[in-house]
Amino acid sequence: MPVSKRGTAALIPHWRPVRGSETTLVVQLEQELTSRIADHLLRAGSRLPSVRRMAESAG
């Protein structure tokens, strides 16, 4: 998956938290972002969407 030229806002909405998991939502998001950085899908200095926008997109 190539890096979006519009910023990371296009990448993050595809994240879906696992509700009811023993892993907290914060840790799930941290793991997702760490994975995207390691896979070069998220660049250093990229802007992330607001907390409200991520919450809306995650359902």
Q: pLDDT tens digits for 45-54?
A: 888 888 788 7
12-34 pLDDT per residue, tens: 557 788 889 999 888 888 888 88
CA dist., res. 57 & res. 15, Å (int): 8
**Is there a domain that residue 12 lies in?**
yes
Higher-confidence position of 59 and 17: 17
Tell whether 1 is covered by a domain.
Answer: no
Kindly state whether residue 16 falls inside one of the protein's structural domains: yes
Amino acid 4: pLDDT: 44
> Is 42 inside any structural domain?
yes
Domains identified in the chain, total number: 1
Q: Is residue 3 a part of any domain in this protein?
A: no
Give how far the C-alpha of residue 14 lies from the chain's centroid of Cα atoms, to the nearest Å: 7
Answer whether residue 2 is part of any domain: no
Q: Residue 53: which domain range?
A: 8-58
Residue 8, pLDDT above cutoff 80: no
Residue 45 to residues 7, 24, 37: CA-CA distances in angstroms?
10, 25, 11
